[in-house]
Structure 1
């Protein structure tokens, strides 16, 4: 009898905790929701909905590997539980594993033959797989592919007389040009394709000459700023005082005009807070410049233009989203087609393969987008020797640099993302000791405060996209280092208003169904 009472009590308590988890999920507190669903699972692990709901929370935190595990467990408990297939299919889709996603949506349609939503998702998945097969069939072998850059002559592109936007005079990208371009972007105007080609071709040549691991030297008394993911987000920095107006009409008119004029992007908001990039105010942007947000073209052209203007004013690292597979799914490819053209899709893909994989500041601070490695003994010389001029592989040092995440427990574990790995404080400590370094700075993960200090203070995550995807409610952050001591000074900032263009506006049609 006591065992039955205990079981009944656990069942009741698990349901109560599930309801609390559901409320946390609705409030976009996904980490809290995962903790609560985990508590419910500990009390009663045979309820499929607990696992499926936790999978959904993992999906919202981009922890697709964990989502697949949880959804698979829900299916084991109840093979006819439709949401198990739905969640797992969504996670596979988010990882770009379309064929695996198709199998789950085919099963979902069998279980729910009269559900129009299931039928719609299956149809879209079938279309995506067919498109992928077609692209694979017509793709030229790697050895026969020519650089798209070789076929572009931007000088032959005519600039129409009516074009009133920013212009590059000659071959030099100037600060005046960059300021004019940013002003045009504030007003949601496009840069002429001639100048966009000029910038991207110049940056391709510049990045291609760099090593895979770049050393940065900050003189004593100078500072250096590291930013994390910006993901093409937009932000509106509005700060104006209206003293008085005689008529409501004028108040309304001028307020509306000013609001429209100050449509800044999150990237520009960082520059407002910390100053424009220059030789005296250098930056490192640590990957994931594009995707998800709907202003990725403006962000990437601004970063590239500053790099062209002054190579030592801004440094750029590759993130996991600077890749073809991610860009196809999460919006950058669609946005480039909409705002520029198909040629730019191929050109950006080439340029992303030229981005360095990591940086070291003053031989003490290692900066990388994702994290560390599945084996000990990796030296900086090994990273510098990586042949990075390719799409990221699914394993190996390059993959782990772009995809890995820290974990609280020691040792190494499977990646919650399904790519790369998780690594503990002991792994971080050994890597730093073996390479005579003091600190790892990485990005890759949204954090409530815009940053998190882990691994006994030896690892800092910095994330610079506040209110990520217009739903996470997180702050953004950047880190200022002062030489010679390089003590990290972390600056946080909140999201501000932005133009009414939703995140994922250019994402894969299928993925938008789940957003």
Structure 2
């Protein structure tokens, strides 16, 4: 993963430096190497935030060392900070055009942002530098196949309305085998008993019959088609309401949330705030469970779209591969179609705004604008829909470029303006791993909640969920550790090109 190397060669000018400047330069190089070695240790320990900080200190002392930029790029990749990873990898290549890992890191960042054609150019550079490298050729070939497939899909797209995947599903032709002993819909409907049976069945690592899985997806699509992009939720004064963040395919941790906080019901409503799938290798179980509860309690169970409920993310991070392995490519296509209709945000009792990512690159955005957003599509690379799914808060005022390369970063003044304009109390969002499972920022007006503990079996973070009552809407936090799960590693179904991130 790492390389050695001290400071890059500095221009010393036409005159010989004095002894003191040489000594200072050597001290600077020694300090930089110390920080780099410490950063490598933290990276190996999977403390990627700490590794980034230490690589930054090394870079501050030796800004022209390509190794330091390449290593920091690798740490940013592990944090999914693709924008920062891209900047570091590009700087690596500027400093040393022969350094192959720089091209690999840049390609990985570009793929994380869905920019396959640009990533392919970097693989071509690696191929030219290492024509006999089997690994380089394999990655180049796979990336080229994806670029060609995307180009083909664009070429055959037409303006007129296409037949949807949902329209092509013939449930009547699907037979329930005599030896199937799993959960069964009752007269085609989700019931309390069905959901109890489903969760037990999934805990035993068994699959719901494909006919029932397709029926759930068809029914949930029909329901979501009637929903607005911003959903208003009314919570009675004495009632508890729970908001959960990212689940990311960690089904057994999802079950633990229900153990700790109760199974969803009309008396125990929930909002799950996006990123239900990808990375974790039980994503099918998670999403079918959540969709089942949405059908059972449509007015007491809510779901916001996350940035991972998208075709590109699912092809990269495992959900597409998992659905193909457990069911079929046609079901994977239907999931993509369904995700396009998930609501983008919610407002609780007119006081709390909940969305997966965050706020916006301009002031003055109103709830009326968000209600009017058109969805039914893949997330665009800019605009309000993109920013709802991708943006992150920053501690300093103002706005900054996104560390992810998509969306923006917004400061406390931006949050203040948004809640003031829309007469809100605070914002709840998810999207980022937090050590304690949650973080309160921007003077209490921007709260992050992340519900996947020990994310990807590597991050050692706690999970959390938020509860509040309709009367005062004051957030209360419950944190918890990860629970054991069957020996199926995260990313087991991911695109093999994703090995560049690990």
TM-score, length-scaled by structure 2: 0.94
Output the CA distance in 1 between the equivalents of 2:381 and 2:42. 34
The aligned residue for residue 372 of structure 1 is 359
Output the CA distance in 1 between the equivalents of 2:142 and 2:337. 29
Q: Are residues 1:97 and 2:112 paired?
A: no
The aligned residue for residue 46 of structure 1 is 64
Task: Map 1:296-311; keep pairs closer than 5 Å.
Answer: 296-311=283-298
Select 1:388's aligned residue among 375, 380, 383: 375
The aligned residue for residue 218 of structure 1 is 235
Select 2:449's aligned residue among 447, 451, 462: 462
- Secondary structure, in 3 states, of the residue corresponding to 2:417? helix
State the shift of 1:142 in Å.
4.3
State the shift of 1:123 in Å.
2.8
State the shift of 1:114 in Å.
4.1
Aligned-residue RMSD, C-alpha: 1.3
- Secondary structure, in 3 states, of the residue corresponding to 1:215? strand
Q: Could you tell me whether the CA contact under 8 Å between 2:74 and 2:501 is conserved in 1?
A: no
State the shift of 1:121 in Å.
2.2
Task: Map 1:36-435; keep pairs closer than 5 Å.
Answer: 36-137=54-155, 139-234=156-251, 265-435=252-422
Q: Are residues 1:488 and 2:472 paired?
A: no
Output the CA distance in 1 between the equivalents of 2:172 and 2:194. 17
**Moved >6 Å (runs of 4+):** none
The aligned residue for residue 238 of structure 1 is none
- 1:433-475, CA deviations, whole angstroms, 9 ceiling, x for partnerless residues? 0000011000011111111111111111111111111111111
- 1:134-182, CA deviations, whole angstroms, 9 ceiling, x for partnerless residues? 3333x43242312221222324422111111001120321110011111
Output the CA distance in 1 between the equivalents of 2:213 and 2:104. 41
Q: Could you tell me whether the CA contact under 8 Å between 1:306 and 1:313 is conserved in 2?
A: no
Output the CA distance in 2 between the equivalents of 1:347 and 1:375. 34
State the shift of 1:118 in Å.
2.5
State the shift of 1:428 in Å.
0.3
- Secondary structure, in 3 states, of the residue corresponding to 1:132? helix
State the shift of 1:481 in Å.
0.9
Select 1:15's aligned residue among 33, 41, 66: 33
Q: Could you tell me whether the CA contact under 8 Å between 1:63 and 1:416 is conserved in 2?
A: yes
Output the CA distance in 2 between the equivalents of 1:486 and 1:389. 31
Closer, same or farther in 2 for the Cα pair 1:508/1:97, shift >3 Å?
same
Consecutive unaligned residues of structure 2, counting only runs of 5 or more, are 1-18
Closer, same or farther in 2 for the Cα pair 1:153/1:127, shift >3 Å?
closer
State the shift of 1:391 in Å.
0.9
Closer, same or farther in 2 for the Cα pair 1:441/1:511, shift >3 Å?
same
Q: Could you tell me whether the CA contact under 8 Å between 1:478 and 1:490 is conserved in 2?
A: yes
Consecutive unaligned residues of structure 1, counting only runs of 5 or more, are 235-264
Output the CA distance in 2 between the equivalents of 1:120 and 1:168. 45
Output the CA distance in 1 between the equivalents of 2:424 and 2:231. 15
State the shift of 1:337 in Å.
1.4
TM-score, length-scaled by structure 1: 0.92
